[in-house]
Amino acid sequence: MKLTFWGAAQTVTGSMHQVEVGGRTYLLDCGLYQGRRKDAFERNSHLPWSGSAIDAVVLSHAHIDHSGNLPSLGKNGFDGPIHATPATMDLCRTMLPDSAFIQVKDAEFVNKRMARRKRLIDDALSNEAKALYTPEDAEKVLRQLSAVNYHQPKQVGEGLEVEMYDAGHLLGSAACYLKLKEGGKTVRLIFSGDVGRKNLPIIRDPEELPEADYLIMESTYGNKLHKNDELVANKLADTINRTMARGGRIIIPAFAVGRTQQIVLLIHQLCKQNRIPRLPIFVDSPLAVNATEVYRAHAECFDPETDAFLKDGSDPFGFSMLRYVRDVAESKGLNDLRGPMMIISASGMCEAGRILHHLRNNISDPRNTVMIVGFQAENTLGRKILDGASEVPIFGDLTRVRAEVVRINELSGHADQGELLKWMQPFAKSLKGVFLVHGELDQSTALAAAIRERYQLDVVIPKRGDSAELR
């Protein structure tokens, strides 16, 4: 029995871990690596093996850094089942075709700009932007999805059984409890996926898992402690009021799935409490619109606070000031509107999609505010904005940053160091070893030290391609 770590190893994105047992090969997640365009394309398009070498995939949740390279896997010969919760399946049905569409359109846009600059033909061809996969590739792999309900063990294949527990990170997210069986021996492995936090809007809290032998755990915020969650409403209201007072716009890059719905719900609550004035609010992302419909269809995943909206007969994700935008022409038309407004658009790390157009049109105006509400990986546009760059590249052009930049980190769907230590406590005594993934090296290193001190466990921070035998 063997693990090999191919993604989210000493970095945050591209979650992908290989499990070998009983002569079969399985994947835990198959996510997109995000970063510099050229590096990301190389990493995502060149898989470590042929897709036909993989027997099945266990998918923790639908976020693109966990699911987004499944179409590439299928394109490279994978035709096995992809096991996920029903809510994760429904989210993937909206997210993967959207990811493909955005890649195709962004490649077309970049190539048109290169042509307009009248580059030499050979140079233009050598630098031609390409889409990683097409909508047809995405639709094909979606037919391989297979449902796994929470708390109902399922045989994934020879030598591997999985049981899903609510991870409290995203609608349908799961911590995966795996039983590996080979030669009469059973090894229990927990793959955390992304661990959520208590009291997050909309979804239920993370569940407690049974004892296990090994743990693969995320470490996104392994060296941080989140601030008081109650501050988020105050910070959001203050930012909106301050920006409106100077006649500006609030531009929010937000993950279309999860974070957008959280922001909408919080603004709905602020409106009901009369803590912010009336202003037009646009959710400009077809994916966010579709994902919100999936959220409405899976009320069984809601926490009591969100259930209260439904019991009152109101829509948590709809109110009079809010408008969802699908049409491209309507999206472009937002730039012609006058006066204060809020635009929530994807992608959350500002790497693709309509948010790039809104940033290009608004980031140089000092009246405006760019509100960062989620994690920004190294080398992404969102990270450059957050780190205070005076100029940032948008569609290949350097653009001055004059807008106010505000960070609201209290909505993070990732547990901090203290929450991760507490989450693993029920099964820590049974563990033989821990593997920390999905974190930049400083975060993983700090969390490893904390785990060793509290639980006296062997902790490894694997590099890409590292393997470990499970005994």
Residue 318 reports pLDDT greater than 80: yes
Beta-carbon neighbour count of residue 112 at 10 Å?
A: 11
The DSSP symbol for 113 reads H
> How big is the chain by its Cα radius of gyration, in Å?
22
**Average of pLDDT values for 462-470?**
98
Q: Phi-psi bin for 84: left (phi > 0), alpha (psi -120 to 50), beta?
A: beta
The DSSP symbol for 181 reads E
The DSSP symbol for 189 reads E
Residue 272 reports pLDDT greater than 80: yes
DSSP alpha helix (H) spans, 282-411 = 286-297, 304-311, 328-333, 355-362, 381-386
Three-state SS letters, 193-241 = CCCCCCCCCCECCCCCCCCCCEEEEECCECCCCCCCCCHHHHHHHHHHH
Residue 118 reports pLDDT greater than 80: no
13-67: pLDDT as tens digits: 999 999 999 999 999 999 999 877 788 888 999 999 999 999 999 999 999 999 9
Q: Is 397 exposed, middle or buried (0-12, 13-18, 19+ CB in 10 A)?
A: exposed
Mean pLDDT, the chain, rounded, equals 93
**Average of pLDDT values for 435-448?**
97
Tokens of residue 240, six digits: 């909106």
Domain ranges for the chain: 2-224+415-469, 231-407
- The residue with greater pLDDT, 419 or 314, is 419
- Contact of 207 with 190, CB cutoff 8 Å: no
Residue 264 reports pLDDT greater than 60: yes
Residue 308 reports pLDDT greater than 50: yes
319-339: pLDDT as tens digits: 889 999 999 999 999 988 989
Say yes or no: do domains 2-224+415-469 and 231-407 share a fold: no
pLDDT at 229: 58
360-409: pLDDT as tens digits: 999 999 999 999 998 888 889 999 999 999 999 998 899 999 999 999 98
Instruction: Round to whole Å and give the CA distance between 23 and 1.
Output: 9
Backbone dihedral angles phi then psi of residue 160, each to the nearest 5 degrees: -140, 125
Residue 261 reports pLDDT greater than 50: yes
Instruction: Round to whole Å and give the CA distance between 268 and 278.
Output: 11
> Which homologous superfamily does the CATH classification assign to the domain defined by 2-224+415-469?
Ribonuclease Z/Hydroxyacylglutathione hydrolase-like (3.60.15.10)
Instruction: Round to whole Å and give the CA distance between 373 and 61.
Output: 20
Q: How confident is the model at residue 117 (pLDDT cuts 50, 70, 90)?
A: low
Helix (H) or strand (E) holding 441: helix 441-455
Maximum mean pLDDT: which of 214-223, 320-329, 411-420:
214-223
Instruction: Round to whole Å and give the CA distance between 275 and 267.
Output: 9
Instruction: Round to whole Å and give the CA distance between 73 and 63.
Output: 16
pLDDT at 260: 94
Q: How confident is the model at residue 124 (pLDDT cuts 50, 70, 90)?
A: very low
pLDDT at 35: 78
Residue 164 reports pLDDT greater than 50: yes
pLDDT at 230: 61
Residue with tokens 């203290």: 418
**Average of pLDDT values for 428-449?**
98
Residue with tokens 């609010």: 281
The packing angle between helices 417-428 and 441-455, to 10°, is 40
Q: How many CA atoms lie within 13 A of 318 on its CB side?
A: 11
For the stretch 304-312, contacts whose Cβ atoms lie closer than 8 Å and that sit 24 or more positions apart, written own/partner, are 305/201, 306/201, 306/202, 306/265
Residue 348 reports pLDDT greater than 50: yes
What architecture is the 231-407 domain classified under in CATH?
A: 3-Layer(aba) Sandwich (3.40)
Q: How far is CA 295 from the centre of its chain?
A: 16
Strand-pairing partners, residue 19, are: 3, 26
193-213: pLDDT as tens digits: 999 999 888 999 999 999 999
pLDDT at 329: 93
Beta-carbon neighbour count of residue 183 at 10 Å?
A: 8
